């Protein structure tokens, strides 16, 4: 069989890096895109030691001609759309950029696939944020969307674009509706990494206080390294379908904070300050996922839960301090 070719937009992010690693291990020829590939450092890919095994291309997802040119050049078998503004908090400050980068980028990929006429499979990165508040009920593939942030609105838009092209043009295109997934590669603007880095600094002697917003919110935290396997599995099916990807276990942010500080030998209550300035205009109080379909049809199930993920991130943080 000919070697499969995969194109990953957003390859420099957490998910893109772990997905690239997985695909290389499976024998793929991996191509990645950035707005300016010559200027990008691809730090995460360097960190996990795979940068030299990937071919990079400059591609502006909001420019249809740019997308079409890269697809025509690479001729991929599979495309993984992981690009776009990825922070819920930042989306309130940059709503236009968030909506455009996610919805227009996804539409350009779909239209370019249709235009080329090639049999390309597309994975689109969806988000559990689209569900909004479900009253504590676990969300599955049939749960209606009620987005509560510009980021969630953008992801919901992209989801329906994918569904429309799948039905209208018979494209193999699907969306993974992923619940929160973390790793050592998360940037510090994400609250999970912010908590771990602060706790490690305080444990090492810093007198700082950790400022957080609403810590009573509850989330389903899983491992990014495991979730990228679900992305790949979705494109190996005979028919394209959307899937909820989650652990099925929900914890409050207070639980997360307590577990992090406990892991470094501290009582979180002595080091955390509730900061009203960090509250969002609207918030999902409880996010809970039902990944039953993924287990049934993909054979995928999360092995790592919140405390396992915390351990991974703390180990990596402490190791980087020693090496640094």
Active site residues: 127, 129, 151
Distances (CA, A) of 249 to 59, 118, 180: 37, 40, 11
The DSSP secondary-structure symbol of 138 reads: P
For 257, phi then psi, to 5°, come to -60, -45
| Residue 23 to residue 26: CA distance in whole angstroms | 5
| Residue 127 to residue 245: CA distance in whole angstroms | 9
DSSP element (H, E) containing 131: none
| Residue 106 to residue 90: CA distance in whole angstroms | 20
| Residue 280 to residue 317: CA distance in whole angstroms | 28
Query: Please, which residues bridge with residue 251 across strands?
Result: 219
- Angle in degrees, 0-180, between the axes of helices 64-74 and 105-116, rounded to the nearest 10: 50
For 21, phi then psi, to 5°, come to -60, -45
DSSP element (H, E) containing 296: none
């Amino acid at each position: 069989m000919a070697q499969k070719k995969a194109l990953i937009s957003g390859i420099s992010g957490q998910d893109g890096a772990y997905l690239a690693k997985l695909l290389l291990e499976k024998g793929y020829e991996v191509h990645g895109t950035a707005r300016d590939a010559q200027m990008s450092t691809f730090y995460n890919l360097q960190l996990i030691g795979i940068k030299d095994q990937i071919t990079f291309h400059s591609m502006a997802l909001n420019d249809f001609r740019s997308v079409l040119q890269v697809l025509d050049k690479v001729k991929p078998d599979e495309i993984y759309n992981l690009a776009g503004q990825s922070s819920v908090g930042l989306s309130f400050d940059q709503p236009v950029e968030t909506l455009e980068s996610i919805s227009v980028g996804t539409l350009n990929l779909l239209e370019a696939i249709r235009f080329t006429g090639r049999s390309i499979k597309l994975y689109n990165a969806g988000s559990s944020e689209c569900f909004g508040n479900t009253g504590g009920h676990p969300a599955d593939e049939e749960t209606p969307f009620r987005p509560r942030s510009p980021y969630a609105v953008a992801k919901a838009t992209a989801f329906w674009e994918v569904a429309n092209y799948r039905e209208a043009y018979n494209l193999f295109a699907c969306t993974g509706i992923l619940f929160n997934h973390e790793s050592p590669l998360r940037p510090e603007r994400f609250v999970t990494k912010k908590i771990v880095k602060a706790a490690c600094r305080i444990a090492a002697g810093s007198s700082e206080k950790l400022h957080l917003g609403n810590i009573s919110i509850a989330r389903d935290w899983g491992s990014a390294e495991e979730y990228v396997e679900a992305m790949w599995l979705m494109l190996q099916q005979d028919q394209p379908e959307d899937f909820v990807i989650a652990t099925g276990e929900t914890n409050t942010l207070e639980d997360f904070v307590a577990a992090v500080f406990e892991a470094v030998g501290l009582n979180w209550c002595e080091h955390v300050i509730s900061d009203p300035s960090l509250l969002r205009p609207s918030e999902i109080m409880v996010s809970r996922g039902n990944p039953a379909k993924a287990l049934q049809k993909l054979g995928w199930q999360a092995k790592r839960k919140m405390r396992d993920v915390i351990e991974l991130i703390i180990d990596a943080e402490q190791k980087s301090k020693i090496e640094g």
